[in-house]
Each structure stands twice: as C-alpha cells, then as structure tokens.
Structure 1
C-alpha cells in the first residue's frame, strides 16, 4: 500500500533572525499545508536544507514534524546521507520518532556504482521496518538510480515501496514504469513534470511548488487521479512559468523568497553557502506569483 497518493510538500525549514530553526513557524507552515489539502509532509529534504542542519536539528525537526502533524497526514522524513552508517542512524531515529516513511536520496559526492546503491539501500532497508521512498536526483548528487536498480531493490526489499523521480528524464521514468509493472510507486520530483509522470502511472508528487500553492498542487494531482485529465492539464500548464521562476536559482533560494513575498515573515532566511536571491530574479518571481494570484 502506498505511503500516500497525491501532493506531498517538500517543506522548507524556516530560521529565526539569529539562525536557529524556527519551530513555531514550521508548525504554522505544517498547519497551512494540511488546511489547504496537502497529502503528506516531507521534512528535512533538499528543500528543507538538510545539508546544513546539525545532527541534533535534523533529528528534532523530524520529531517535531511528527508531533505537530499528529497523524493528520503522513510524515516522511528525509534521512539520506552519503554515509550509509549515518543514513541508518537518521533512519532509525525517524522510525522511533514515529515517521510514517523515509525519503532516501542517493549518496552524494562519493557517487556510488549501481552495485553500491543496491548495497547501500539494502543495508538501510534492513535496519528499519517503515516504508522507504528512494530519491533519484542526479543533478544534485551526481548519481543516477537506473530503472533496473530501482526495480531490483523494490522486489528484494519489501519496505522499499516508492521512488521520487527527479532525473528530469521522462524516457527513464517510462522505462522504470515498464520494468516495474507496479512493484514500486513513482512520485514526480519535478513540479513541471507532475502530469507527464502521472500519465506514466505515477501516483503523486513531492513538491516544492506546494510550499506556496498547496491547493493548486493538490488539485493538479487529485483531478488526474479522479479521471479529470483536462483540469489537471490546465493546472500543470498554468503553473509552468511559476515553476520556472521557483527554480531560476538553486532550490530552496527562490521558494523561501516566494514564501516571504506571500506573507511569511523572515521566511527567506537561508544558511550559507546559500545566499539571497538576485534582485532581477526576485522581480521575475514576484511577477509570476502575482500572475497566479498568490500575492496578498
């Protein structure tokens, strides 16, 4: 059974003015997402700046999200690492904290081979009992999960149940769907490819766009899954320019700027080496938010 179907938000991690995790605002953001139809909360992913969280902050963000969500929707914890031992530590903590599932990015920088990926994910899967979504984003990690590898893992490890596909390669996703024959749930990892991946049998998205447009992102997926392809297509095409603006600089710089533009105080605060958005790009982003009616 799928961890979730629909639109999950890859939620940002807000910071205070003195660079601490702003748990009060994080709770408000989780509430806002659930109130506007979001189907799952994905905490401590790329968009959540997991790479600059301390180990203690990473653990507490996961625990906080589980406590605050209180079973209203599933909470999926980002627990990937380029160290298998650290990924296991994070994953076992998330399981103890009550997370409903895990999101495990491929090892970054050391760029494992396909056999290395199989060993890495197998070791993590056998250390926990909760469901796992693999996360394939080679533009970030320099490491691509081939379709054959994903299928082998899903067939050999019962708790590897899904994959977030952010390779951008629709042909690769099509091959994965063909080989898998339903053995692994496919989620879009790119907001501009939600509908194409749904059309190949995907069941949802893990979305950056949902941070600022949760209702629209939810409706895009829900309408398709309900058989209303025309509405889904319209929503996908309507949001294309905004998706482009949200990725005109490295994620999550634009989406955190967008959150502040739509009214979240100090939401654009980042941790180095991420830096504030260039003014010209910020103007473009503001224009696209205005076109979508998202500015107050």
Structure 2
C-alpha cells in the first residue's frame, strides 16, 4: 500500500493564517490528476508543529474526504510526548486515514531504548499501520538500524521514512530486517532515486508538491527496474530538489505553489516566515528552467 511517490503535502493558508480548505481541495485534485501514489497529511511539510490538535485532525479529515479512497492517505501523528502521539493517533483513527507517520521524538533526545518503548506504545494503541520517521537533521536524536530491526517485529509497524540522506542506512536496515514486506521510503529528495535503486520502495517527497507527475514517474521507472531512465529523470529535477530547500521546509514549496497559482497565499505560521527575495529569485529561475511558470 505504501509504495511509490507520496507527497509530503503542504497545508495552504489564507493571508490571515487560517487554513485555506478551498486550496487544499485543489491540491488534492492536482495530485490525483498528476498520478501521485499517496498523500502524507500534516507532517513536517504540512506545518504540524503549529496546528493545534483539533485543527490537525480536521485538516487530515478533509484530505481523506477529498481523496475519496482514490489514493492512500498517511497522517502525521508524531510528538515528542508519547502520550500526545497516542492521543493524536486515536483522534484520527476514525477519519478514514490509512496509516500514521510517527517521527522520532524531537528536543528531548531519547535513548534507543526510549525510542523502542515510544513507538511500541504508539503501535499498540492503534489498529492502523505505523510508519517510523527518522530525520535527525530536525530531531537531533537518530534512530539506529538495530533499533529499526527491533521495531519492525511489531505487526503494526510496517515501514520507515528515512531522511538521513545516507544510503548506507538503507543497506544496513535491509540486511538486518528479515521481513520482506517492511517498506523503505526515502525522506530525502536529492538521494531518493539512488535510494530506490538500492532497494527502497518509494519516497515521501517535498519536491512532489511541485512536480508530482515527474516524481511518480521516477518511482514507477525504478519499480520496473529501469534505473537508467529513472536517473535521467532525476537529473532533470536536481536543481529543483536543491531549490526547494534554500530555506527551511516548507517555506519554498509554499512559495512555488503560490507562483504556480495552486494556492492563494504563501503564508506560514510563526515562527516560520515567508521566503527572502533572493531565495524567491533563485527558485523562480529554476522553476522557469523547468517550465513550471
């Protein structure tokens, strides 16, 4: 179920900071038309850190409604408090979401044993599948392959989004984990093609916000073993991968979607602010070269 190109979907907002549900529906329709294989709702790119619980659940519910069972929806449900992560997962369990993406707890720097206890408690509190999310660039704490091996034995823990950008991690996890159904998803767009070529099953992609069809095609080519073709397509996206991270995510993808006319505003909630003019100019040049605007 969780294979191919999953979009790390932004949460569009009006200029007054309220969620723009009209633009949200337009984005979901866009991804359905462009061939995305799935959506990740209210993860890091969806500004989960600044959406209160009720709003978080409502945005996920609306995305599920708009997707209408045509592609799977994974909901971000991570927190640096285990009780909060469980509460949020349980609040979203009846929305129709297909699974949860749960990040390594940030700021409090848990030990590996703490991570095992944290994710096990979450997995035992829901009947829905859980995808682990390791992104040490944001969380500081880094989940080790041996820890993933232990967690992969839980029947509700079905995969991992690895955003380390270190392809050796994928090889280490595949060597340790016997379960052939365990899903490996890249969380690092610049290395995602090589991740797929090394045995990964898909990507949870920021770049797919802007070029969903190209990211879906790359995943399909890799799944078919056509790695040269997949790499050729990825090379065409290399500048865009870089440009979308000139400033911290989701600043640039929101600006890009605004320039493309898919959302009405590039507003972000504090402490995030809109892109600097130099950043806008750099990404605009890349987008023009890609014929996106």
The two structures have a TM-score, normalised by structure 2, of 0.97
1:178 is the counterpart of 2:170: no
Match of 1:291 in 2: 289
CA contact (8 A) 1:198 1:204 kept: yes
CA contact (8 A) 2:15 2:265 kept: no
Is the deviation greater in 174-183 or in 190-199?
Answer: 174-183
Question: Per-residue displacement from partner, 1:138-197 (whole Å, max 9, x unpaired)?
Answer: 000111110110111011x10101100001222222211221243521000011111111
Question: Could you tell me which of 157, 160, 163 is aligned with 1:163?
Answer: 160
1:73 is the counterpart of 2:64: no
Match of 2:12 in 1: 14
Question: Could you tell me which of 92, 95, 98 is aligned with 1:94?
Answer: 92
Q: How many residues align?
A: 292
Question: Could you tell me which of 201, 204, 225 is aligned with 1:203?
Answer: 201
Secondary structure at the counterpart of residue 186 of structure 1: strand
Alignment of 1:134-173 (within 5 A): 134-155=132-153, 157-173=154-170
CA contact (8 A) 1:194 1:221 kept: no
Question: Per-residue displacement from partner, 1:217-238 (whole Å, max 9, x unpaired)?
Answer: 0001101111221210111111
1:257 Cα deviation after fit? 0.7
CA contact (8 A) 1:177 1:200 kept: no
1:120 Cα deviation after fit? 0.2
1:264 Cα deviation after fit? 2.5
Alignment of 1:1-296 (within 5 A): 3-155=1-153, 157-181=154-178, 182=180, 184-295=182-293
Question: Per-residue displacement from partner, 1:36-77 (whole Å, max 9, x unpaired)?
Answer: 000001001000000000111101011111112110000100
Secondary structure at the counterpart of residue 198 of structure 1: helix
1:131 Cα deviation after fit? 0.7
Gaps of 5+ in 2: none
Gaps of 5+ in 1: none
Cα distance in 2 for partners of 1:163, 1:245 equals 25
| Misfit runs of 4+, over 3 Å | none
Cα distance in 2 for partners of 1:84, 1:183 equals 26
Cα distance in 2 for partners of 1:263, 1:231 equals 30
CA contact (8 A) 1:164 1:206 kept: yes
The two structures have a TM-score, normalised by structure 1, of 0.96
What RMSD over aligned residues (CA atoms) do the two structures have, in Å?
1.0
Cα distance in 2 for partners of 1:95, 1:145 equals 26
CA contact (8 A) 2:77 2:89 kept: yes
